[in-house]
Homo-oligomer: A and B are copies of this chain.
Amino acid sequence: MKILLVGSGGVGDALSRILARRFRTRPFADAVVVADYDLARAQRTVEAVRHREGDAGVRAFSAARVDASDAASVEALAREVGATHVMNAVDPRFVMPIFTGALAAGADYLDMAMSLSKPHPTEPYAKTGVKLGDEQFALAPQWEDAGRLALVGIGVEPGLADVFARYACEELFETVTELGVRDGANLTVDGYEFAPSFSIWTTIEECLNPPVVWDDGAWSTLPPFSEPEVFDFPGAIGPVECVHVEHEEVLLMPRWLQADRVTFKYGLGEEFIGVLKTLRKLGLDRTEPITVKGVEVSPRDVVAASLPDPATLGPLMRGATCAGLLVTGTGKGEGFAGRPREVYLHHVVDNAWSMEEFGAQCVVWQTAVNPAVALELLADGRWSGAGVLGPEALPHRPFLDLLAAEDGYASPWGMQERTPTPSSSS
């Protein structure tokens, strides 16, 4: 396996660190070419890997320059380095050039976010327009014909959440009422009253786009911030207000799994929801430039520039982040067969741990560990396929085992049985 990693921002950098650590005991790839539009940034990642993991860890690594907005640039570099797998770790705006560049180069492809949506032109808050991933699935026949695999949405959400969904549908439930992704955190940043731990540009994009749900065999959309619900997260996180958000899992799970309803709710919390609503009210969510005293500037870029750079906040952050899937339906197996069941499958990462172990903040590390697991499964053949597939199209057991195993990635996931105990009188 030769990996071309496109993008050495937060997630690309963390993935490099995770792979290098793993290669100490299991060097499953011969090469990792870390490529960025900014070559110096790619070099910084390789240097950071050398610093943390030593010369042995970094042996497979090299840095290169690539223009992720240009499929020809991606194809050329993939051919030049003989990439068997192109791993996309950049902004979703660049999904399509990397996806098509990989196909042209005859490489397999992985990403953690799918091609972007466009709202329905007249009924944006009721009907879907172009959906997340539609552009990629339209090219599925070409990937099948080429016998190559595009494994899309293999971060944590989408990614691990989709693996959880397959596990629930195969092993825990006879019929599923809802596959409900629920994401929440209790992160704070020392010294800042308000400092998002992730890109506010992307958060605005996700949260102000019409959220999509799968309901009774069809996709539809809702107004932003619909159906607020307080979800009680495990660990020290506790209750957080969650709302519907547009997310890939809702588009992936129904393609391979059976459920009445598929949803994604994000634990933004009341304060953040208020901030996003105000930005929209003032037009500060807009990306088109406006003229300010003779200068052209995009209001959303100004909002992002006004806040501290999330990439610099890791050392100042405290708390943990939780990704997970709430599943309701009729159980299967001993003690649950034929009875209503509710479980929350989840994965919690503490920031102090990920900073100490990898020098990566927890949200970014949690995203990056999943493609590392997937690449290892693809390298040794436990995962394989052709076409455009989501994580739920592949067997869940090897993934969940390798993620949690002490001699694997040592990052345990958990399951809360939330089924109410039947009262003794019933």
A residues adjacent to B (C-beta < 8 A): 193-194, 274-275, 278-279, 281-284, 286, 290-293, 295-299, 301-303, 305-307
Q: Give bound CA distance, A404 to B205, whole Å.
A: 54
Knowing A274-B274, A278-B278 are in contact, say whether A303-B291 is a contact too (CB < 8 A).
no
Q: Which residues of B contact A193 (CB under 8 A)?
A: 281
Neighbouring B residues of A307 by C-beta, 8 Å: 282-283
Q: Which residue of B lies closest to A194 (CB)?
A: B281
Report the Cα distance A307→B279, complex, angstroms.
11
Q: In the complex, what's the smallest C-beta–C-beta distance from A65 to chain B, in angstroms? A: 20
- Contact for A302 among B274, B275, B278, B292, CB less than 8 A: B292
- Bound together, the chains give a CA A63 to CA B248 distance in angstroms of 62
Contacts of A306 in B (CB 8 A): 282-284, 286, 290, 299
Bound together, the chains give a CA A306 to CA B299 distance in angstroms of 7
Given contacts A293-B298, A293-B301, 15 further A-B contacts (CB under 8 A): A274-B278, A275-B278, A275-B282, A282-B303, A282-B306, A284-B306, A286-B306, A290-B302, A291-B305, A292-B301, A292-B305, A293-B305, A297-B297, A299-B302, A302-B302
Contact across chains for A305 and B290 when beta carbons are under 8 A apart:
yes
Q: What are 25 inter-chain pairs, A to B, with CB distance below 8 A? A: A193-B281, A194-B282, A274-B274, A274-B278, A282-B303, A282-B307, A283-B306, A284-B302, A286-B306, A290-B302, A290-B305, A290-B306, A292-B297, A292-B298, A292-B301, A292-B302, A293-B297, A293-B298, A293-B305, A295-B295, A295-B297, A297-B297, A299-B302, A299-B306, A302-B302
**Would you give the shortest CB distance from A188 to chain B, in whole angstroms?**
14
**A198 shortest CB reach to chain B, Å:** 15
Determine the distance from Cα of A303 to Cα of B296 in the docked complex, in whole angstroms: 13
In-complex Cβ contact of A296 among B274, B295, B296, B298 (8 A): B295
Q: Which of A274, A296, A297 has the largest count of B CB atoms less than 10 A from its CB? A: A297
Q: Which residues of B contact A284 (CB under 8 A)?
A: 284, 302-303, 306
User: Could you tell me the distance between the alpha carbons of A335 and B362 in the complex, rounded to whole angstroms?
Assistant: 72
Chain B residues within 8 Å of A282, by CB: 194, 275, 303, 306-307
Residue among A278, A281, A298, A302 with max Cβ neighbours from chain B (10 Å): A302
A284 to B274, CA, bound (A): 15
Residues of B within 8 A of A279 (CB): 278
Q: Which residue of B lies closest to A286 (CB)?
A: B306
A72 vs chain B, min Cβ distance (A)? 25
- Assembly CA distance A376 to B330 (angstroms): 84
The residues of B that contact A305 with a CB separation of less than 8 Å are 290-293
Contact of A275 among B194, B281, B296 (CB under 8 A): B281
Q: With a CB–CB cut-off of 8 A, which chain B residues contact A278?
A: 274-275, 278-279
Q: What 7 A-B pairs are tightest by C-beta distance, nearest first?
A: A278-B278, A292-B305, A283-B306, A194-B281, A302-B302, A292-B301, A292-B302
Closest to A280 in B: B193
Min C-beta distance of A207 to chain B, whole Å: 15
- The CA of A307 and the CA of B292, in the complex, are separated in Å by 11
